[in-house]
Amino acid sequence: MSENNISPTTPTLDPSTETYPQINGNDDDIVITDKDKEEFINKMVQYRNTAITFIGNNKKELASIYLQHINSPDIPDEDRCGVLGINLVEIEEKNNVDVAFIPTKLLHIELVNQINERKKENDENIIYFLLLTPVEEKILEIDIRTLMS
């Protein structure tokens, strides 16, 4: 997506190392075929590409939402740290992408831990996005300077 100068720092999709939905229980009748895995990966890639396109097309607005929220004197300090949620769960039915700032305290502990691990590697000028799709929840991170340009 070079035309938008968006370069997520989140590791790229590698289907050989990607995790798939786990089936719990002892139901021996359930089998995940290679075709099922391929369809899952294709959907995952489709939603991720949709999110990157959306971010590229709305980068200044997204940066503005994020900065207004984290810099607002009207918002308590504990609610200023968070992510921008990009909800694609109903995009096919509504043809709409919902965006909201989500304070860290509202996120699942696994997502918070994942963000904290990424912050150890790079915490300068990064906006974290929580991508919500029908097939996954994924943290994306993008350098805010690419959004502001």
Range of the domain at 135: 2-148
Q: What is the pLDDT of residues 51-108, one digit of tens each?
A: 999 999 999 999 999 999 989 999 898 888 999 999 999 998 888 899 999 999 999 9
| pLDDT the model gives residue 31 | 78
* pLDDT confidence of residue 10: 44
Chain segment 29-38, per-residue pLDDT in tens: 677 889 999 9
Count how many domains the chain has: 1
CA–CA dist 47, 50 (Å, integer): 5
Distance from C-alpha of 116 to C-alpha of 107, rounded to nearest angstrom: 12
pTM above 0.75, yes or no: no
Q: What is the mean pLDDT of the chain?
A: 82
